[in-house]
Structure formats: C-alpha cells, structure tokens
Amino acid sequence: MSGEYQRPFAEAGGLRLHLNENTGGCSPRVLDAIRALDAGEIAFYPEYDEVVRETAVYLGVPPDWTLLVNGLDEGILAATVAAAQAHVIRGGGGERPESIVPQPAFDMYGVCTGAVGGVVVDVAPRRDLAFPLAGVLDAIRPATRLVFVTSPNNPTGVRVTLDDIARVAGAVPAGALVFVDEAYHDFCGDTAVPLLADHPNVVVGRTFAKGHGLAALRAGCVIARPATLAPLRRVVPPYSLNVCAAAGLRAALRDTGHLRAYIEQVRTSRDLVYAACRRIGLEYWESGANFVLVRVGERAGALVEQLAARGIFVRDRTGDPGCAGCVRMTAGVVEHTERCLAAMEEILCAAP
Ligand SMILES: Cc1ncc(COP(=O)(O)O)c(C=O)c1O
C-alpha cells in the first residue's frame, strides 16, 4: 500500500483489540514522572542526555548507536528519507528508489516510500505466511535502497530467523538498508541487534508503544552503527521527542516489573486464543507478538461487525495479501482476551 495511512476507527469506551495496543495501560510511574515535570521543563526545549543514556543501557548498545524517535513510525520515515537521499546522491541511474516490502506488511512502509517518491516492490506472501526469503532475494535490484523485514510480523505474528535477515543483508546493493522492524520484540525476545557487528547496513527499529504501553506518548528508537545512523539523524527534527515522552520513557524503562507482568499476560492470552481456535476449528498462526491472526473464513466481516456491536473491536485483515478471511485480535490482558473469545465463540457457534 502507498498513499495516506487510514486510521482504523473504534467507538470510544469499547474494548480496543484492533490496534495491538497495551490495553492494560502504562506503568503508574510514567504518570508520576509526567506529573512531576515543572513549568520550566515544559517551557524549555527538552534535554535528551539522560534518556538517551538510559535507553542505550536498556537496549544493551552504546548511546551513539541509538536514535530516539517520535514513535517508530518516525524511524521508518527517517530510514525511508535517508535511503531515498542516498539513491539521489549515487545518481539513481534514472530510476526511482525501491523499497522491498514482503507481504502482508505494516502499512507505513508503503506510505513512507510513496511519500518520498519511491517505488514499493511488494513480495507476494507464502501460503503459510512465513517470511518469503526467496521472493525477497529475487526482488533485489540495483535500485533497491531499502528492504523492510518485520519480526515478529504484523499482521501475522510470524517471526523471521536471523539467518534469513543476514541473507538479505548480504544480498542488497552497497548503501542499501535492511530495516528490521522489531515493534513486537518484547513479546518474544528476538532481535537482530547482534547482526549489526557484521552487517552495518542493518537498522533495527523498536517502539515503546506496545510492551511499555506508551503509544500515545510516541516514543521509539532506531538502533544501528553510528555511520549508518548518521543520515537518519539528519532527517529527524532536533526536538522530536517531547518532554512528557522523554520523562515517561525513563520511568517506563525503570519499571521492568510492569513490563514483565504484561508480557506474562500476553503469553497466557496467546495460549487461550490458540486453544479457542482449536476448539472451534479455526486456523491460526503462532505469534511472537501481542496479537494473533485467525482465519475465520467467509464470516470474518460479519464476526468483526457483530463483535463491534458488543463493543469489542478486532481488525478485519481480509484485504491483506494472503489473509483472506482473517481477523487479527490483540492477545494482551487476559481478562480482555477472555471476553473477546467468549463473544467470538458465541457468535461463531451460533447457526450462520
Ligand atoms: C510493525 C510495526 N511497526 C511500527 C509501528 C509503529 O510504532 P509506533 O507506535 O511507535 O509509531 C507499529 C504499530 O502498530 C507496527 O505494528
């Protein structure tokens, strides 16, 4: 997809299981940190030294390997702009810069590539929705500037092996980037950070929206070797993270117990979804994220509507490549998952 991002709608007050959010909320310490800001801190431009240092320690990399961004969306945009700029500097060979997007994929890759005048090269999904390594390798051309790899993937929850990522990183043209989007890292622990040692063209994206529940504060981080990050740094505005996000992020990183408890809920919730799918006889994908993709079949649209009528929002992914008849539901807070599954079973087990 390229064009404008279409924000999904959900009526206020419902159970929001359609955007992979942390429906348990952020740590109370985040709210305390924001409340503790004084008038001067709101009036002055924010300082980032402490939050950068603490984030780097948390991520286990040197501070100059990190770039804080206003949500990972901004990191994706920065990488796309930097890749397009590198294309222009290299002469471009009369072609537009290409981004390879293995499908199904998060919409922002297409949106950002379109915004910089680039070409989205979609790679068709495999039937099992596993990472289409062969298709990605086939799609690589001299005009390839960026390859998006999402692990675990959204909307499938499917994880990508480090071997596959390394194969892609070794195959792209000089100067091209491999953007490994690890928005859902917290829920499986997988990371491509160790690849940075041998593959300087790899850029890893993280968000604190999901595990840490800071989606509305907007806080993310891009991790790469300093020389790789330099062109992205030139894209991101100097005060991109506002002071509430910076203070909230520091508090969230310190409250590891809050994160751990949510991850535990996610693990239990995923198992509950799998068990329900087996009971009802629905195909599902084992997920490394805080959501599960379920193949409901022809009744997917009706299920989404009937759940919405009960104030439970899940996402119809039927329009995504390879996802006909699929819905994606957040599997986070156990009580929320149970409510959704009970309604889902009632609807699906009633006569059609
Ligand atoms: C794969 C993926 N990448 C990036 C993002 C954006 O993260 P943020 O909210 O930090 O901009 C999301 C959000 O849902 C996502 O699913």
What does each of the 352 residues of the chain score in pLDDT, given as a tens digit? 458 877 777 777 799 999 999 999 999 999 999 999 999 999 999 999 999 999 999 999 999 999 999 999 999 999 999 999 987 888 877 899 999 999 999 999 999 999 999 999 999 999 999 999 999 999 999 999 999 999 999 999 999 999 999 999 999 999 999 999 999 999 999 999 999 999 999 999 999 999 999 999 999 999 999 999 999 999 999 999 999 999 999 999 999 999 999 999 999 999 999 999 999 999 999 999 999 999 999 999 999 999 999 999 999 999 999 999 999 999 999 999 999 999 999 999 986 6
| C-beta 152 within 6 A of ligand 1 | no
| C-beta 182 within 6 A of ligand 1 | no
Residue carrying the six token digits 């792209």 = 172
Global pTM reads 0.97
How far away, in angstroms, is 310 Cα from ligand 1 center?
27
Helix (H, G, I), strand (E, B) or coil at 333: coil
Q: What is the DSSP letter of 124?
A: P
| C-beta 209 within 6 A of ligand 1 | yes
Quick one: tokens of 195? 């690849």
Q: At what angle do helices 72-89 and 226-233 cross, to 10 degrees?
A: 100
* Residue 235 Cα distances to 80, 83, 131, 174, 217, angstroms: 10, 11, 30, 21, 20
| C-beta 22 within 6 A of ligand 1 | no
Do 48 and 68 touch, CB atoms closer than 8 A?
A: yes
Using alpha carbons, select from 173, 154, 225, 219 the residue that is nearest to residue 195.
225
How far away, in angstroms, is 350 Cα from ligand 1 center?
35
111 burial via Cβ count (<10 Å: 0-12, 13-18, 19+) = buried
Best probe residue, ligand 1, of 7, 17, 73 (max atoms within 8 Å of C-beta): 73
* Residue 195 Cα distances to 41, 200, 262, angstroms: 38, 8, 28
Using alpha carbons, select from 69, 72, 333 the residue that is nearest to residue 180.
72
